[in-house]
Amino acid sequence: MDEATNREPNNTGMRSTYVPCAENNLGKSEDLKPADAKIFICSDTHFCHKNILIYEATNRPFKDRDEMNEAMIQRWNEKVSKRDLVLHLGDFSFGNKSRIKDIVSRLNGRIWLLMGNHDREQHYNWQELGFNRTIKHPFLLDGKFVFSHEPLETIPDGLVNIYGHVHGSKYFNTIDPNRLCACVERWNCAPIEYDYIKSLFPDK
């Protein structure tokens, strides 16, 4: 499926729910990577999606999807090393399996994919396409940050929600006191270093 329907991707009506349990707790971030590696976060890359250039024309100033793909791959690899871990919060690509596999093979780092609404529609075996892990539900990291595709309906006290899905929607700020939008449109179409995100919420 190279193109999905013409639905506006900034649908603000969808929400996630975080269920506290051992399965949804990834523990401490330092245990997920080598000591000399970093963790990066991103969401909603929408590789190969032609219509996203219409929906997000201001934030994706590319002439076509090929230029967009190449720019995002370059910006990703300029920040992420092969030893790093990238937590992708969903809606990775609208390409077919061979195109997705090719893009993943060109990206640095180990990639864990939290399934987004479009990823769930595709019914692919994502590990066969090069992802190191797939996650189905919102998860907790470092006892403080809840990662989800859609923004949480309710953010538990003391936690910070890192989410995607809404792209450049005017109804959501990039940074709020207890949440941050990781959609690539808000971060120059590149992943964000997790340590930087943590520095934004020192008192939470």
**195: CATH:** 3.60.21.10
Decide if 6 is inside a domain. Answer: no
Quote the longest CA-to-CA distance of the chain. Answer: 45
What pTM value is reported for the model?
0.90
Decide if 7 is inside a domain. Answer: no
Q: What is the pLDDT of residue 105?
A: 98
Does pLDDT of 17 surpass 60?
yes
- Helices assigned H by DSSP within the chain: 52-55, 65-79, 97-106, 117-122, 194-200
Does pLDDT of 38 surpass 80?
yes
Confidence band (pLDDT; 50, 70, 90) for 117?
A: confident
Q: What is the pLDDT of residue 22?
A: 80
Decide if 3 is inside a domain. Answer: no
Q: What is the pLDDT of residue 1?
A: 30
Decide if 117 is inside a domain. Answer: yes
Between CA 78 and CA 60 the distance in angstroms is 18
Number of folded domains that form the chain: 1
Decide if 73 is inside a domain. Answer: yes
pLDDT > 70: what percent of the chain?
A: 93
Decide if 11 is inside a domain. Answer: no
Mean pLDDT of the residues in the chain:
90
Which residue range is the domain that position 43 belongs to? 35-200
Q: What is the side-by-side strand order in the sheet with 179-181?
A: 139-141, 145-147, 160-163, 179-181, 175-176
* pLDDT tens track for 135-147: 999 999 999 999 9
Half-sphere exposure of 127 (CA within 13 A, CB side): 4
pLDDT (mean) for 28-39: 96
Decide if 177 is inside a domain. Answer: yes
pLDDT (mean) for 23-48: 95
Decide if 17 is inside a domain. Answer: no
pLDDT (mean) for 181-185: 97
* pLDDT tens track for 1-13: 333 333 334 445 5
pLDDT > 90: what percent of the chain?
A: 80
